[in-house]
Chains A and B, each alone.
Chain A
Amino acid sequence: MTVGYEPWDRARGAEIIAEHAGLEGATLVILHALQEAFGYVPEPAIPMVAEALNLSRAEVHGVFTFYHDFRKQPAGRHVLKLCRAEACQAAGGDRLAARAEAKLGVALGNTTADERVTLEPIYCLGLCATAPSAMLDGRVVGRLDEARIDALVAEAQR
Chain B
Amino acid sequence: MTMRIFIPRDAGAVAVGADDVALAFAQAAAARGAAIEIVRTGSRGLYWLEPMVELTTAQGRVAFGPVTAADVPSLLDAMAGNGQHALRLGVTDEIAWLKRQTRLTFARCGVIDPRSVDDYRAHGGYKGLDRALTLTSDQILADVTTSGLRGRGGAGFPTGIKWKTVAQASADRKYIVCNADEGDSGTFADRMIMEGDPFVVIEGMTIAGITVGATKGYIYIRSEYPHAVAAMNAAIAGARRAGLLGKRIGGSAHEFDLEVRVGAGAYVCGEETSLLESLEGRRGIVRAKPPLPAHKGLFGRPSVINNVLSFAAIPFILDNGAKAYADFGMGRSRGTMPIQLAGNIKYGGLFETAFGVTLGELVDEIGGGTLTGREVRAVQVGGPLGAYFPRALFDTPFDYEAFAARDGLIGHGGVVVFDDTVDMVKQARFAMEFCAIESCGKCTPCRIGSTRGVETINKIINGERVAENLAVIEDLCNTMKFGSLCALGGFTPYPVMSALKHFREDFGPAPARLQAAE
Contacts and interface: CB of A to CB of B under 8 A. Distances in A.
B87 interface: no
Contacts, number: 158
A8 interface: no
A113 interface: no
Contact of B279 (A25, A86, A135): A25
A142 B343 CA distance: 12
B117 interface: no
A128 B342 contact: yes
B101 interface: no
B341 A129 contact: yes
Contact of B348 (A59, A62, A69, A128): A128
A106 interface: no
A131 B422 CA distance: 16
A129 B349 contact: yes
Contacts of A70: 264
B185 interface: yes
Nearest to B283: A66
Contacts of B210: none
A157 B44 CA distance: 35
Interface in A38-54: 53
Interface string A104-129: 00000000000000000011111111
A62 B359 CA distance: 43
Contact of B184 (A25, A26, A124): A124
Contacts of A73: none
Interface in A111-158: 122-131, 133, 135, 138, 140-143
Interface in A71-110: 83, 85-92
Most buried by B among A83, A122, A123, A143: A123
Contacts of A122: 224, 265
Given A62-B283, A128-B342, A67 B16 contact: no
Contacts of A27: 281-282
13 contacts: A24-B280, A28-B278, A53-B281, A63-B283, A66-B440, A69-B265, A87-B185, A122-B224, A125-B225, A126-B190, A128-B343, A129-B12, A129-B48
Interface of A: 24-29, 31-32, 53, 59, 62-63, 66-70, 83, 85-92, 122-131, 133, 135, 138, 140-143
